[in-house]
Amino acid sequence: MPRFAANLSMMYTEHDFLDRFAAASADGFEAVEYLFPYAYDATELRRRLDDHGLRQVLFNAPPGAWESGERGLAALPGREAEVRSGIERALEYAAELGCPRVHMMAGLVGPAQDPAEHRDTYLANLARAAERAAAAGVDILIEPINGRDMPGYFLSRQSEAHTVVREVGAPNLKVQLDLYHCQIVEGDLTTTLRRDLPTGRVGHLQIAGVPDRHEPDRGELDIRHLFGVIDDLGFDGWIGCEYNPRAGTSEGLGWRHDYRGDNA
């Protein structure tokens, strides 16, 4: 049955960040994810996980100058040294937090830039990162992101991500399939799940309602059907709840309690 992880960057924002662990645990979550851990001491984050019986299942590698608008570095020529140092920092946190997955953001690419050069850089950076992460027992993830929310992002389609994973050929390089982004870019989610989950190349799922990124039962997705498909395919990973609650996180969790496979 699907296992849900609370995304603490988007959920429980009515609490200070370090207090969101307790709130997620109180609502029955057993795992968490978030964008970045680097503003906090790793030992303090680990204490919060342990105090509330939570597992850390995902966070992102350093994305460059996030506050200035950068959205990753992996596909940006000339930034390779920052990518390498960022992976080292991410793996240090992953070791302390017991986190088995790190997402590497590709970055933004302008229309006048050479896509082939960016792609070559992307493949080389991912290969190096996957090799380094394999020694630590960590999977590196890449995620297609829709161009409405993040114009210019280098990777937007599932087929492109799977081609990259196949070309790099590292067993610990996998795709992060966000059903929200996928629906906006290409739709056909049932077929996508049935095609891609059995390959073993999907390392993590995420959900949100489309089009407004609220609770997953709000909008055009039939989440009960999609969860059933995921169940039928035997996916045993985590589904990150990466959405913006409409009016209080706990108040909007009816979708999870109503789902037949969730005992929380």
Q: CB-hemisphere CA count at 13 Å for 126?
A: 32
C-alpha dist (Å) from residue 28 to 19, 148, 195: 15, 33, 31
Q: CB neighbours of 230 closer than 8 A, spacing ≥ 6?
A: 2, 193, 197, 205, 239
Q: HEC profile for 153-221? A: ECCCCHHHHHHHHHHHCCCCEEEEEEHHHHHHHCCCHHHHHHHHHHHCCEEEEEECCCCCCCCCCCCCC
The values of phi and psi at residue 207, to 5°, are: -140, 155
Q: Catalytic annotation on 215? A: no
The single residue of 44, 92, 242, 251 carrying the catalytic annotation is 242
Is there a contact between 238 and 31 (Cβ–Cβ < 8 Å)? Answer: yes
Q: Catalytic annotation on 82? A: no
The single residue of 30, 80, 143, 215 carrying the catalytic annotation is 143
Active site residues: 143, 242
